[in-house]
Structure 1
């Protein structure tokens, strides 16, 4: 399950986020405990704890003392907003800069994208 390129805690957090986005984990749904996660994936519980702490800090999960961890009601919206923000920063900002350098007006890019959307319908 885990690759060598990314820290395991990061991969766990990303996996939980993906499960929220694809509907496998629903708002209010209970998430495996850190000990269950550690046992299932045969990892150090501290590693799982780090991933869960990060998700709590991001507002994706919340902890009910003595009960467990749960998916926040607005987790999917938070994740979608974060994805959009990163998409604009990583994909569109460089695209706009490159288009400007090439002398391509932004209206031409918009027209192109609208034509692509029309072709898909």
Structure 2
């Protein structure tokens, strides 16, 4: 992953989201030790304090837990916590924005639903 320094999203949020994606993709599993702030800082050429901030967000959300002197580890519930958060926050925001844009463009609910179905079919490889 390459961090986007031009993004409106702070680097520490991008770090947290990258780690979340690694967890939901099962590249990092429950009870597995996560990268340290220094490893993340070296990987992404950022300040260790920035990396620590990203890790602390995930610890506050109960995605990671600390073992004194050993580092941070993934919780049993991490994947479910992340999926729930992304569904209830990220996806909901995207849907609200999509519906607002459709309304501005006078796209009917039926047309919008069909567009979503068509996009889903394309992504899943069903054609169209």
**Smaller-chain TM-score bracket:** 0.7 to 0.9
- In the alignment of these two chains, the number of paired residues is 118
CA deviation map 1:37-85 (0-9, x unaligned)? 2234332211111111111111111101111100111111111111111
Question: Quick one: which of 63, 82, 92 aligns to 1:88?
Answer: 92
Query: How far is 1:93 from its partner?
Result: 2.8
Secondary structure of 1:81's aligned partner = helix
Stretches of structure 1 that go unaligned for 5 or more consecutive residues are none
Q: What TM-score, normalized to structure 1?
A: 0.75
Secondary structure of 1:30's aligned partner = coil
Other-structure match for 1:4 = 5
Query: How far is 1:17 from its partner?
Result: 0.7
Larger-gyration structure (1/2):
1
Kindly report which structure 2 residues correspond to 1:1-121, keeping only aligned pairs within 5 A, or say none.
1-6=2-7, 7-85=10-88, 86-90=90-94, 92-96=95-99, 102=106, 104=108, 108=110, 112=114, 120=126
Q: What TM-score, normalized to structure 2?
A: 0.71
Distance 1:66 1:5, change over 3 A: same
2:70 & 2:5 partners in 1: Cα distance? 33
